[in-house]
Chain A
Amino acid sequence: MGYAIKTKNLVKRYKDKTAVDGLTLTVEEGELIALLGVNGAGKTTTVKMLTCLTKPTEGKSSIMGRDVVEFPEDVKRLVGVSPQDTSVAENLTVKENLEFMAGLYLPKDKAEAAVVRTIKAFGLDEFQNKKAKLLSGGYKRKLSIAMALIGEPKVLFLDEPTLGLDVLARRQLWREIEALKKNMTIVLTTHYMEEAQELADRIVIMTEGKVKAIGTLEELESQTGKKGLEDVFVSIVENVE
């Protein structure tokens, strides 16, 4: 298997603040990695750079072998993004939201089939004619992820997908993400340790824009001598501070 994501010394500076500082990372096809860090660690900025939402100040990055800065049009066809905040068209129904996104990525005949398939896969049948603004928080997130997926991306970026959801909605969304794992590469940013522990093949711990540790949970546990991701995380972050 090849690499889905490759970055080398990726840097993003905003005036006097360095949001991401020399990020070097490789993610294999079909892998799910979790970017873990406190607020301002650089997780969202990393996602933004990899999805052509912001240009890096320095460094190189590629998605499925295509350079993100040189070939943004190609990269935009390869990635799907579910942003941190709810990002659905509020006055459109669930089905219309999906039709809209499918229309941006796929030819008409494929788009129609993709909408039907996605509604079924995400269990949205019951709500397909309901306006997005009337959905619960959990279903809005579900719709947001479904919208990111409908363009059949090779790499899916989920920026804090379960933020603000109750435990049941979060667990349900985990199951949806788990089901997607086999078919694509997923980058997940999260504050929730149990989420990363449950879903990720590898965990990347970031602080102050830098990668401080990377590996499977077992590898990180053996590096720090701690048990469980929360203790591992605290140990790494506190050692840095």
Chain B
Amino acid sequence: MKRTMVFAKRNLIEVFRDPLSWIFCIAFPIVMLIIMSVVNSAIPQEAGMTLFRIDNLAGGIAIFGQMFVMLFTAIAVAKDRSGAFLTRLYSSPMKSSNFVWGYILPMLLTAVIQVVISLIAAVVISVISEYTLNIAGLLMTVVAVIPSALMFSAIGFIFGAVFNEKAAPGICSIIISLGAIVGGIWFDVEGVGGFMYKLGKCLPFLYATKLARAAISMDFGVKEFFIPLGVVALTATVLSVIAGILFNGKMRADQG
């Protein structure tokens, strides 16, 4: 545990000192929140489109931001693998679980901080747009999106362990695009239906978005909250285990 925390501290410092983390993990989601709120204000009420209303948008943006945490996890792992720094650590008393949680824990914390900041921005926007957000729902969201934060960190970890420093960000970008589309962040996937919805149901992103939105509106229905929570938590657990197994294998392969 001690070694995990020591390694996690190092990774947290690395993330916080990288200006790109601030741009992509904090600034970009807030900018998207503002832009989409402006778009929402331009949509006539008669259209009946509520996707970009601040309560729906905030949940979507929380998940969208976590996708960038996945990107940064992948970059951190792949970058360390490409240099001799991990070689040094492989010869230290660190175990593979120290490595896995040492990478994932700071990313979880980053994701939580990011969600809190996004939700604070959402509150400001809700005040400006005269829409009342449920503060208890916002607090609930911070807790409810922890499983998806773990899931995205684990996905990033897997990509960082499998791909090199150049390939990992590219693969993550594809996942971010795919996740944003089929995750129902920018449009109503259920409404579109067809292949898009079927694909969305097969992947965990749509459930993550649904869960965040249900938490904001304090809707604890089985279909709205508990099934998405179960899917996301299970996916996060399975992916974390895969990440551990994969890193163990890569550790041996990297060492020759």
Contacts and interface: CB of A to CB of B under 8 A. Distances in A.
B2 A83 contact: no
A86 B85 CA distance: 8
Interface string A90-117: 0110001000110111000000000000
A103 to B, nearest CB: 4
B202 interface: no
Given A83-B88, A103-B6, A54 B14 contact: no
A85 B83 contact: yes
A81 B87 CA distance: 9
B85 A89 contact: yes
Interface string B16-30: 011000000000000
Nearest to A108: B2
A88 interface: yes
B84 A84 contact: yes
A152 to B, nearest CB: 13
Contacts of A96: 10, 13
Contact of B14 (A52, A73, A81, A89): A89
Given A89-B10, A89-B14, A91-B13, A51 B91 contact: yes
Contacts of B93: 73, 76-77, 104-105
A213 B71 CA distance: 51
A53 interface: yes
Contacts of A85: 83-84, 87
A84 B88 CA distance: 10
B256 A48 contact: yes
B135 to A, nearest CB: 36
Interface string A7-51: 000000010000000000000000000000000000000001001
A104 B88 CA distance: 12
Given A104-B6, A104-B93, A104-B94, A54 B255 contact: yes
A100 B6 contact: yes
A76 B92 contact: yes
A103 B5 CA distance: 9
A100 B9 contact: yes
Contacts of A48: 255-256
B141 to A, nearest CB: 31
Nearest to B17: A91
A87 interface: yes
Nearest to B80: A89
A232 interface: no
B223 to A, nearest CB: 45
Given A84-B84, A87-B85, A103-B3, A53 B91 contact: yes
A205 interface: no
B3 A91 contact: no
Contact of A87 (B6, B88, B94): B88
In the complex, which of the residues A73, A82, A89 has the most CB atoms of chain B within 10 Å of its own CB atom? A89
12 contacts: A53-B87, A53-B90, A53-B91, A54-B256, A87-B87, A91-B18, A92-B13, A92-B14, A103-B6, A104-B89, A104-B93, A104-B94
